[in-house]
Structures are given as C-alpha cells and as structure tokens.
Amino acid sequence: MDKIVSKLLIFGDLPSDSILMELAAICREAKGQSYDKEALVARVYRQVKRLLVLATDFGFDKNLWQNYLTFLLMTDENPFTLTCEKMGVREGSVNHFAKSDCAAFIELFHYDFYPLEQRLGIDCFSCITSYRAIEKPELMYNKSVSEKVQALSDVLAAATTTEAFFAGITDFYRAYGVGQWGLNKAFRLANGSENRVVFQPINNMEKVMLSDLVGYEQQKAQLVENTEAFVSGKRANNVLLYGDSGTGKSTSIKAIVNEFYPRGLRMIEIYKHQFKDLSQVIAQIKNRNYKFIIYMDDLSFEEFEIEYKFLKAVIEGGVETKPDNVLIYATSNRRHLIRETWGDRSDVKLTEQDVHHSDTMEEKLSLATRFGVAINYSKPTPAEYYAIVEELAARHGIDMPVDELRLQANRWELRHGGVSGRTAQQFINHLLGKMKE
C-alpha cells in the first residue's frame, strides 16, 4: 500500500496521521525483516477503530474501506477539485496527473489486505470490507452524507478503467462540489482561530418543505421568487420575515433551503453574538460555487445592544462589496428590529437631552430598510386557524368530526398562547400522542 500511496500527486497532501497514511506506514513496516508484531497489531486496531467511528458518524455500510476512500476524495479541497467544482473538467495537463491519481485509487479500492492479516494474525480487514451496519435512527448519523458517499462509492468501485473512475469523481465535484459544502446543506459557526471561523455542519436538518406549511401562500410565493432569482444568478434582495410568533417564519426559510439545496443553495446560521465574525464568514465563502443564505433567527436588538452595527456594515455600506453569492435572510417578531422608545419620536417631548433625536430614530430604522424584501407573517384569523388544524389532522390520519376537532382546537389555543400555526401543530401532536396511548 505504501508504494501506491507514494504515487499520489493531486491527492497526495493528506495529513500524516490520516487513516490512509497510517495504514500505509504499517504495511511498509510489516514488510521489513524485523518488526514488533504486537505493536503493529495495536496500531492497526487503532486505525480500524477510527474507521468504525467514522462509519458510525456517517452511516457507512458494506465496504467501509471503499466508503472511507470515497469520503477522502469527496472532501479533499485542492486546486484541481476546486476548479472542477466551479467549472467542471477542462482540457489541461493537470488531467494527466489527476488520472494518474485515479489509477492509484483504483488499486487502493481493491487492495488485498489478506497478506497483512496473515502476517499479523488478524482478520479485521476482512470484516470491514464486508460489513453489515446496525440500523440506526437518522438522528444518530448524517444521512445526507451517508447516501452520497455510498452512492459514489458504488460508482467508483465498479469503475474498471481510469477514465471511468475519473469521470465518476469529477461528475460528483461538478454536481455537488468538494469538501463540507458539497456534502451538507446547513452550517453553524464553531470556535476557530482568531482570523478564521469554523463551519460546523448541522446534521439532519428538519425535512420540511413549503407545501408542509399550511396557508401563507402569498408570503411563500414572495420568498420563492426572490430565492429563485438568487440561485439563477440574477439580482436578489436580502429578506426579512417579520410578524407574530409561531406563524412559520423560520419554517419557511428551512423549507426554502430544502427546496433549493439541489441547485447549490446552502445556509449558514449565525447568532447575534457572532455578528463580529460576519466579514470573516463572507471572506471564506465568497469564491465558492454555491449560493449562501446567512440565516439569522429571531433577530432583534435592545437599546443597549450594538451588534446591529456589524450587520449594517455587512449588508450595505461597508468598503467591501457583498459578494453576489451571499444573501441574508432573517426572522423577527419586530418590523423595525431595534427597540424604540417614545423618546425616539420627533413628535414627543423629550425628557433626555438628545439634541439630534431625529438622527436617533433614523439610526434605529436604517437596519430594517436594508432588507430589500420584507414579508409579513401575521397571526391567522380563527377561520384560518381552523383550516390549518383540519389540514394537519387530515395529513396525520386523525379521524374526528369537524365540530369536535374545532371545539378541542379552540380549547387548546385558549390555554396555549392563542391562534397560530405553531399552536395548531402542537394541538395535533397532542392528539397523536393520545392516539398512540
């Protein structure tokens, strides 16, 4: 294996402590005249354990070794893979070296571990290359990544020529991209170095679609129209969804990401205390071949909070132009986002010595005006609330007379915060729980 790995050029810059590099070193030492068998076995088991952990995290199955190699190819960001992501395969001398690497990976895909097992008296590789994973709930692993890895792994394992292998992997780069952006649809920020933020994938994001949100057809149409223009490379606006709580603002944005994910839309969720990192976030994503929605949920500010100034500078007004592949979608219960007081109004006598009180008002309103599209999600009328309840009941197979359903729905909302889509869903969950009992 060490001789095969030494042939890699485009993909040869893997960390020395990666599973592939560690196993290559073990194979090299095992071929020597003298080696510590017990120590080598322990090192093998450590790498197999790492492989099993990776398989658990991403739901690998059948041939874990081939799944792992596929995962390496899918996540290795280098000049060749990034070019394929943006433009697909282009004629050039680099393809010669890439195809040479593909030939090496074909050998690795079908590497015979039997001699190593015989030499060390182990059988773990026979097990991991013919593996049967325990069925797990989706919340225990990243199903989206698992499906992509296993599908591409099957394609690459079946490739009998270098050309077929090369076509399989480059087609994936063009369709999905490379690295974590190609494998996941949503991210949040994690602690990173001082000058670089870290994007942490959000596994198993809610699989809601716009059709799952009952009502609000006009609001959904506005959101789709803006997002459609965005992913099509046309001009689009930042969006503010505002209105009563529980009306489906956050659900609509999640659904938009699910709807447009196959067309290259990705979402990055950012919290208020992370606004200072916005410029770093944009710097890391502006040259990727994806469209990014920076998602801010429940956006609002009290008078003493100044984080909104970072947001204003990024949206519009900073020296650096916001790239065309980034938009900001936010939800808020407040239309104007920043808490206002009567003292901010120009038609009210002030009790404090604010000489330029009209400027104060303008400062607080200016953030909301930087969202080109503002969509109002208002609380449903009683009739609309009943319609939502009836539709959700029908979808979940709840067989109850309409009058009784409405009566119970009315009692529920009186005790649980008033009419809203969220209240309706909670009521249906209550009924489903009683049915299961």
Same domain, 314 and 431: no
- Spatial CA neighbour of 338 closest among 286, 297, 376, 301: 301
- What does the pLDDT read at residue 361? 47
Q: What is the pLDDT of residue 284?
A: 87
The pLDDT of residue 338: 54
**Structural domain harbouring 404:** 382-436
Residue 39 sits in the same domain as residue 148: yes
Per-residue 3-state assignment (H helix, E strand, C coil) for the chain: CHHHHCCCCCCCCCCCCCHHHHHHHHHHHHCCCCCCHHHHHHHHHHHHHHHHHHHHHHCCCECHHHHHHHHHHHHCCCHHHHHHHHHCCCCCCHHHHHHHHHHHHHHHHCCCCHHHHHHHCCCHHHHHCCECCCCCCHHHCCHHHHHHHHHHHHHHHHCCCHHHHHHHHHHHHHHHCCCHHHHCCEEEEEEEECCEEEEEECCCCCCCCHHHCCCCHHHHHHHHHHHHHHHCCCCCCCEEEEECCCCCHHHHHHHHHHHHHHHCEEEEECCHHHHHHHHHHHHHHCCCCCEEEEEECCCCECCCCCCHHHHHHHHCCCCCCCCCCEEEEEEECCCCCECCCHHHCCCCCCCCCCCCHHHHHHHHHHHHHCCCEEEEECCCCHHHHHHHHHHHHHHCCCCCCHHHHHHHHHHHHHHCCCCCHHHHHHHHHHHHHHHHC
- Whether 309 and 422 map to the same domain: the answer is no
Residue where one domain finishes, among candidates 148, 165, 183: 183
Percent with pLDDT over 90 in the chain: 33
Residues whose CB is less than 8 angstroms from the CB of residue 362 and which lie 6 or more positions away in sequence, other chains included: none
**Predicted confidence (pLDDT) at residue 363 exceeds the cutoff of 70:** no
Please state the rounded mean pLDDT for residues 200-216.
85
Pair (91, 60) in one structural domain: yes
Percent share of the chain, pLDDT over 70? 84
**Pair 309, 353 in one domain:** yes
Domain boundary among 152, 183, 214: 183
Structure confidence at residue 8 as a pLDDT band (50, 70, 90): very high
Tens digits of per-residue pLDDT, 175-185?
A: 888 888 888 88
pLDDT reading at 210 higher than 50: yes
Average pLDDT along the chain: 84
pLDDT of residue 245: 83
pLDDT at 313 over 70: no
Summarised one tens digit per residue, pLDDT across range 411-434 is 898 888 788 888 898 999 999 888
Most confident of 201-210, 283-292, 294-303: 283-292
Give the per-residue pLDDT at 56: 87
Q: Summarize the confidence of residues 2-19 as an average pLDDT.
A: 89
Q: What is the reported pLDDT for 223?
A: 94
Cβ atoms 125, 23 nearer than 8 A: no
Residues 32 and 136 in one domain: yes
- Same domain, yes or no, for 358 and 387? no
> What confidence score (pLDDT) does residue 310 get?
67
Asked if 358 and 411 sit in the same domain, the reply is: no
Evaluate if residue 342 carries a pLDDT over 80.
no
Q: Would you state the pLDDT for residue 170?
A: 93
Cα-flanking dihedrals φ and ψ of residue 291, to 5°? -105, 130
Point out the domain boundary residue: 183, 200, 215. 183
Residue 358: pLDDT above 70?
no
* pLDDT computed for residue 355 by the predictor: 47
Q: CB atoms < 10 A from the CB of 411, how many? A: 11
- Say if residue 230 is in the same domain as residue 170: no
Number of helices followed by number of strands (H, E) in the chain: 19, 7
One domain for residues 150 and 19: yes
Summarised one tens digit per residue, pLDDT across range 95-154 is 999 999 999 999 999 999 999 999 999 999 999 988 887 776 665 666 778 888 999 999
C-alpha to C-alpha distance for 398 and 106, rounded to whole angstroms: 54
Residue 407 confidence (pLDDT) above 60: yes
Name the most confidently modeled range: 25-39, 135-149, 224-238.
Answer: 224-238
Total domains, the chain = 3
pLDDT at 368: 62
Which of helix, strand or coil describes residue 8? coil
pTM of the model: 0.78
pLDDT higher than 60, residue 73: yes
What pLDDT score was predicted for residue 279? 83
Instruction: Mark whether 329 and 209 lie in a shared domain.
Output: yes
- 111 and 226 together in one domain: no
User: Which of 96-100, 169-173, 233-237, 358-362 bottoms out in mean pLDDT, i.e. has the lowest?
Assistant: 358-362
Residue 321 is part of a domain; what is its CATH number?
Answer: 3.40.50.300
pLDDT surpasses 70 at 347: no
